[in-house]
Copies of this chain bind each other. A is one copy, B any other.
Amino acid sequence: MVMPMTDSVRAWRVLFEDLCRLIRSGRLVPGDRLPSETALIAQTGLSRTTVRQAIGQLRSVGLVSTLAPKGTFVLGTPDPVRLMAGESVTAEAALTLTRADGSTALLPAGTPIVCAATR
C-alpha cells in the first residue's frame, strides 16, 4: 500500500520503527541481514529513497551496519564501554545518567561526558 506523501505519518519513520521492532524483538538477531533495498521496496511499496532513509536512520542509531554491496546487517549490543581519561562521549539525543545509588538524571543532547580524573 502506497503512503501518500501528504500523510502526516512519515513513511520512512514507519519503516524505521518496523525494522527497529524486528531487531529489538529478536526476530532479527545480530549478524542477520536486513531484506535488501529492493525487497523492502517490494514489501512496502515505498520508493528507494524512502527505504534508504529508514535504513540510514537505523545506521545512525547504531542498530545496523551496511557493508558496501553485501547488505545491511544487524549489530549486537556491545559490552559496556569504559571511559578512559582524555576520552569523551556525546549523543544527539538526551543522555541518561545513572548514579551509584540507582537514581538517574537526564542530560541534554550534545552534552560531552568526560572521565573524572582518576585519583
Contacts and interface: CB of A to CB of B under 8 A. Distances in A.
Most buried by B among A86, A90, A96, A118: A90
Q: Give how many copies assemble into the complex.
A: 2
Given A83-B113, A83-B114, A113-B83, A108 B60 contact: no
B115 A116 contact: yes
A95 B89 contact: yes
Contact of A63 (B80, B95, B108): B108
Interface residues of A, number: 45
Contacts of A79: 111
A82 interface: yes
Interface of A: 49, 59-63, 75, 77-100, 106-119
Given A60-B60, A62-B110, 17 more contacts: A49-B49, A62-B93, A62-B95, A62-B109, A79-B111, A80-B111, A82-B115, A82-B116, A83-B116, A84-B116, A87-B99, A89-B89, A89-B107, A90-B98, A92-B94, A98-B112, A115-B117
